[in-house]
Amino acid sequence: MGIALAALALTACAPTTAPAPAGTAAGSEGAEESVAVSVGMITSITGPLAAYGASYQQGFEAGLDYATEGTGEIDGIDLTIEWIDDQGNPDTAVTQAKDVIGQGFQIIGGSAASGVSLAVAEQAAQNNTLFLSGPAAADAITGVNDQTFRSGRQTLQDVATAATFLDSVEGSNIVVFAQDNAFGQGNVASVQAVLGGEGATVTPILVAEDATEFTPFAQQISAASPDLVFVAWAGATTGAMWEALSQQQVLESTTVVTGLADRASYQAYGPGSADIQFLNHYFPGATDTDAAQAMDAFLEEAGNEADLFTVDGFVGAQMLVHAITEGRGDVDAMIGALEGWTFESVKGELTIRAEDHALIQPMFQVRLVDDGGTWMPELIEIVDAEAVAPPVAAE
């Protein structure tokens, strides 16, 4: 399926059954029961996170193919999946969620933006609708309510992965270098909670979003003599920021860790790329599992390539198929089917923690290497899922 349209439907009907209203049986006595299940995939098809939405949708289609063994069908289910463009806007997404819930949709999925996900999660709880959030990384999504699950990682898992670059967290001196906005402040809070909680001294250095000169901040980092610098940055000034850190020998003098984003970012770190340590959720070729091979083959046939959030779509489809197969459209039963479920996916073994619906998953240590003048990711180490599992979210 393409992503040019704001909404499109994919209907997968079991060939031996006829469509039936949601939650009702079809056919004569003794015939196989058919249940109509409708899914609204509300995600960023256009807007600032359109690239993430595209990767997610491509991964979802690959995951649906994998989880249904190439049929796109679930036995006894009349399945409709409708893709809806939220444009990355929470208000738009809430309106769309209310609309599909009003139509009787039992499941919503897809959020790429954290603000969207949290707003849709509220609607899911109010209307007892299963919600499978996508790439949105906010920690608050985990444990927000009984109806909400996630198919991606969360910020606390990023921070815990950063800690694996230190021999010991206790007693270490960590600088968080970030923009002074919600994204940067959120990362500071997570580092303080996770690494500060393990005995590290955490010093935030926050920079105004409109800053264009970063040398004084690089000098401030050097003066702090940190054991580790955790960089959380996004936007047009990324290249200039990394250039300043390189020119001031920050990259050479200490361990600098940041998240490796999507393919488009690989060339953005400048000449000091080889001196940066990267935590990573996923990059193409990170694993060679059966699911990874299947995903890559499906994407290649469709003329696409795996990227950072392709796996979130793949996992989302696996979760969807399992929930519907076991719960047959009944929301409480589908929730029960997902809680505590362990399954094999692209990254390896994943577990949906029953207590708060956190997705326990491996993460990756990565470096960038110069491949004929192009920077490409190379795996250093797979980080054990339990080693970076977030604390159980408080109710």
- pLDDT tens-place string over residues 81-104: 999 999 999 999 999 999 999 999
- pLDDT band for position 395 (cuts 50, 70, 90): low
Does residue 32 or residue 139 have the better pLDDT? 139
pLDDT value for 183: 83
pLDDT digits (tens, 9 = 90+) for 50-69: 999 999 999 999 999 999 99
pLDDT value for 378: 97
pLDDT digits (tens, 9 = 90+) for 175-192: 999 999 888 888 899 899
pLDDT value for 2: 31
The length of the chain in residues reads: 395
Its pTM stands at 0.89
pLDDT digits (tens, 9 = 90+) for 260-292: 999 989 998 888 999 999 999 999 999 999 999
Mean pLDDT of 310-334: 98
State the burial class of residue 200 (Cβ atoms within 10 Å of its Cβ: 0-12, 13-18, 19+).
Answer: buried
Q: Is pLDDT above 60 for 108?
A: yes
- pLDDT band for position 4 (cuts 50, 70, 90): very low
Give the whole-angstrom CA distance, residue 105 versus residue 311: 24
Does residue 128 or residue 393 have the better pLDDT? 128
pLDDT value for 235: 77
Mean pLDDT of 125-134: 98
Q: For the chain, what is the HEC assignment?
A: CCCCCCEEEEEEECCCCCCCCCCCCCCCCCCCCCEEEEEEEEECCCCCCHHHHHHHHHHHHHHHHHHCCCCCCCCCEEEEEEEEECCCCHHHHHHHHHHHHHCCCCEEECCCCHHHHHHHHHHHHHHCCEEEECCCCCHHHCCCCCCEEECCCCHHHHHHHHHCCCCCCCCCEEEEEEECCHHHHHHHHHHHHHCHHHCCEEEEEEECCCCCCCHHHHHHHHHHCCCEEEEECCCCCHHHHHHHHHHCCHHHHCEEEEECCCHHHCCCCHHHHHHCEEEECCCCCCCCCHHHHHHHHHHHHCCCCCCCCHHHHHHHHHHHHHHHHHHCCCHHHHHHHHCCCEEEECCEEEEECCCCCCEECCEEEEEEEEECCEEEEEEEEEECCHHHCCCCCCC
Mean predicted lDDT score pLDDT of the chain: 90
